[in-house]
Amino acid sequence: MHAFLTTEIYIYTNLFYESIFYFFSGNADVALVNFYADWCRFSQMLHPIFEEASNIIRQEFPEKTQVVFARVDCDQYSDIAQRYRISKYPTLKLFRNGMMMKREYRGQRSASALADYIRQQRLDPVREVNDLEDLKVLDRSKRNIIGYFEQRGSVNYRTFERVSNILHEDCVFLASFGNVSRPERYGGDNVIYRPPGENAPDMVYLGSLTNFDLTYAWTQDKCVPLVREITFENGEELTEEGLPFLILFHMKYDTESLERFQQEVARQLITEKGTINFLHADCDKFRHPLLHIQKTPADCPVIAIDSFRHMYIFPDFKDLEVPGKLKQFVLDLHSGKLHREFHHGPDPTDSPSEQSSQEIASSPPESSFQKLAPSEHRYTILKRDRDEL
């Protein structure tokens, strides 16, 4: 393991574990960690590039508390690899103050691209507001977190800043200070969430701003929607999470269908969060998966499950609001019923009307979104047994 890949850490001594503590604790503002295996050809190709990038960044950020580049040999330190759920080599993980970011680096493997990525991570994600009137013309298509603080150097603001460093790709963070923020600081420093939509009401954070965990949990809940949009840019990341997809295919302008889907997911499936990913996709952009299930954009909105083995169609979008219908569709995936009927036809216990509707869904095509998973032309994928869904 290396710090900036310039000073060798003798990994057979306790110095290695001290360096692990340093890189993965809160001592480094930003740490980019390369999890690799010596026998992996992609890891071998990345080593000189990673070192060159570290040398570039070291010139710009010489203090070791600012930026750290580190490498972990996953064969020799498999316990560390397991801790951070490494499933492919090489994997580049970003840490901020010891906390691993959910989004790993998946960009171009060049020294300049890695250096640019670190420069972006070093930028202040909080935009200062010098006139509260500016908040009236915010982009309401985005999720905005707005903080009103008495002082920039306060403990409260440092908590807000730490949260923004982690969630800045999910929300826009803004802050005002001193006299500018005074009208909004009724009983002290104040943070609000302004959701998308012109008429959506603000939500006020009622917890303690000195409590990072509480502030982060509240902000994450607001910044990361229950139903996320899948794109070609985030498809690999979502696929690698390993959870089946429940997807609404809808036309971009069809916000009504999306709102209905979001409401029913929140109403019927909130307890399934963590067992399946709730997504929506642009019908025009994802024509191929639609064709895979014998649909076209003209058929949208369409709801389907991609289990990474097969795709299953929800019988009729009009049934979305039938109490329990959408939830049963998901439960049938988890119980294996959808897959069982794929091989053996409708369960004999079902009524004739249910059987006729399920016969349509008993011949599902293979997964389409599995193709968005990390490519074996870019990574060495660790093979793990998966239950067929």
**Which tens digits make up the pLDDT trace of 244-297?**
999 999 999 999 999 999 999 999 999 999 899 999 999 999 999 999 899 999
183 domain-assigned? yes
Which of 122, 141, 159 is the last residue before a domain boundary?
122
* 12 inside domain: yes
pLDDT digits (tens, 9 = 90+) for 125-167: 999 999 999 999 899 889 999 999 999 999 999 999 999 999 9
**Is 377 contained in some domain?**
no
Least confident piece of the model among 102-106, 199-203, 259-263, 362-366: 362-366
List the structure tokens of 274: 């963590």
Burial class (CB in 10 A: 0-12, 13-18, 19+), 241: exposed
Domain end: 93, 122, 151, which one? 122
Tally the C-alpha atoms within 13 A of residue 260's C-alpha that lie toward its C-beta: 17
Q: Which residue range forms the structural domain that includes residue 41?
A: 2-122
Q: Are residues 306 and 238 in the same domain?
A: yes
Distances, alpha carbon 112 to alpha carbons 86, 139, 234, 254, 276, in Å? 25, 32, 22, 40, 37
For the chain, what is the radius of gyration of the CA atoms? 24
> Are 22 and 134 contained in the same domain?
no
Query: pLDDT value at position 348?
Result: 63
| pLDDT tens column, 319-356 | 998 999 999 999 999 998 887 776 656 666 555 555 44
Same-domain status, 343 and 290:
yes
- Please check whether residues 218 and 238 belong to one and the same domain: no
Q: How many domains does the chain contain in total?
A: 3
Here the CATH number for the domain that contains residue 235 is 3.40.30.10
**pLDDT tens-digit series, residues 174-221:** 999 999 999 999 889 999 999 988 888 999 999 999 999 999 999 999
Q: How far is 190 from 208, CA to CA, in rounded Å?
A: 10
Does residue 246 sit within a domain?
A: yes
pTM of the model: 0.78
Predicted pLDDT of residue 364: 67
Same domain, 99 and 138: no
